[in-house]
Structure 1
Amino acid sequence: MASHVYILLDLKHPRFKIGKANNILARARSFQWQSIDFPQSLGLRLASEADAYTLEKILHRTFRFASVDPLEVVASGGSADGASEWFSVSCWPRLLRYLEDNQDLHPHETVSGGELAALLERQLQPSQAVIAREQLKKEKEARRVERELARIAYRRAQLEGLRASLEIVQPKVAQELERLKLNGNIIGVCDTSMGSYLVLADAMPLPSGASLWVVAPLSTHYDYPGGGGSIMSSYSQITCPEGTISKVGLPRAYLFDDSASEEDEIILEVFRDEFGWLKQLQSIPEEWISVIFPPGWLFSPSSDGPEHEFAIKKVMNALSTSGYR
């Protein structure tokens, strides 16, 4: 089987490499294609591996006076693989004359640098399989980008829809808060483990069916693509001889923190003035409200228990001293 002796010129340093390989390009790959000046290099095609080994050894011995120190090769970025096979370009002309003068002693066909460069170019060209994989990769990336853009557009539509819906609800809430301020019905805010509540009261018992908070929770409902909610999410009220007390559920965004969602941020922005005013109200103890409004009741019946009477008395006293008008 035919084999080769290669004589490859370094692209950046004044040296060349003499070695033996059945496939010159495959061997050159081990010490970096990009470091070889292929157009100025050459290969020698011999009849057999034995002939190639013989010529390689003869050339190594003949030009040993021009060999480059392997340590120098490695220190200058060359590969340690075959580092002892490099020779100074000072002997390059003599090497070419030697091969020409001794063609009869070492029969070979010359593979020119141009041929080697052309072979390398063809080898570096991507195969149809590689091209197909790259095309598939590009198509997948294009679909991913398309999905991401669609997601971003949908999210933008969601938030824009949320803001538009909230701006319809905001005047209703602001108007109702203003009415309650003028009537002197606002006591304060109660923060509980279940959420925050606006606490209202009137010193006169309201007639059956009447409410302190007159805006129905559904009137404060907002919708947007893929979601919805209510600014005032719940309402509870009791009427007793001392008067009427109610609590109105505030939205989660009222307790804005680091875990707030983008939706919460928009709610906070639209209701900034209302929430800012609510946060200035006095704090009503949770233990009062939990006794007056036991869990699970929307309209709790009055109770004659001492704890219930005590809590109602505290809330009504808080109403008389609130001064929120």
Structure 2
Amino acid sequence: MKIICTRQNLVQGVSTSQRGVSAKSPMPILSGILLSAKGNTLTLEATDLEMGIQCTIPCNVQEEGSIVLPAKYFGEIVRRLPDSPIQIESAEGENAIIHYGQSEIAINGFSADEFPVFSNPQGNTSFTMPEEELKEYLRQVLFATSSDENRPVFTGILLEISNGILRLVATDTHRLALREENLSNDLEDISVIIPGKALNELSRVIGDPDKNITISIGDNQVIFIMEDTKLISRLIEGQFPNYRQVIPQGYKTRIKLKTKEFFESVERASLLARVGTQVVRLAIEEDKVIISANTEVGRIHEEVPCYLSGETMQIAFNALYLIDALRSIGGESIHIDMSGPLSPGILRTVDSANYLSLVLPVRTS
């Protein structure tokens, strides 16, 4: 293999593909990036066998070939190279020489023959949407996934298509986030669970307002296809909980308040609530919400104006869960619906019905 490319393109390719590198695999080759030169492009791939990322960059291919280089060292080297044409060449072995200006670096790697094959899923469900929109949807639900690997279903996001409506749902059993959007009506109904880790990495590489992303779903894999990047992930096996059952259809108490004002007040209360139980209390009155926390560090009492529909009440929430929900919701004003001190709080923006965030209350004495 022998190629010449710009430092800028190489940094982009390495930074993107490096997100797929395995951190703890017993297979040394999975700590590397596969470089494959063909035609007038260089393809960089990395995988941990659960998720893989492939990025293609333009380059001058003088001799086609491939090699696997250790991601950690190769990435650090590339990012520190001068801004000049970079030549990479490797013979029929397991090392490569990086030429830049009058200097060179030799780096040991692995044979490309040992690297796992990057396959595409076979499936009939495929749709395209703007990158910017998908990034926003993921931002609104990813926070509600669980990090407990003993319950893999809760570490993922449910992607559901039903009657032409796309739904993304996440829950860790203490909170839930749901985003829905209309799609084409000719899509088949489908329900799959995509690992939160893969979608978190995807959210870091998408977001261009002028580009689209294609999502193709197979029997046990999903692939996200962008202009110069592909991300493939295994699906999580198991049954996602019936999220519809936990979303109340009515309310006894509804408050409308300014999102930013309420968020900042809860955030201040959380500074004290983090010591101990992480609980903030809400006392909902006719024209205001009283936010309070009382711990060994001190106490806080704030009042935020609101419009009340229904009954006055008192309820308590985990401060950090409430902050996450408020941070993700957006919008100038929100509704919070409740049916009692032991029922979930449902947060929605006033001007949109496409998103909701559910937070379970905390039982207090």
- Give the TM-score range, shorter chain: under 0.3
Q: TM-score, normalised by structure 1?
A: 0.20
Q: Which has the higher contact order (CA 8 A, sep 6+)?
A: 1
Question: Which structure: larger Rg?
Answer: 1
More helix by share: 1
More strand by share: 2
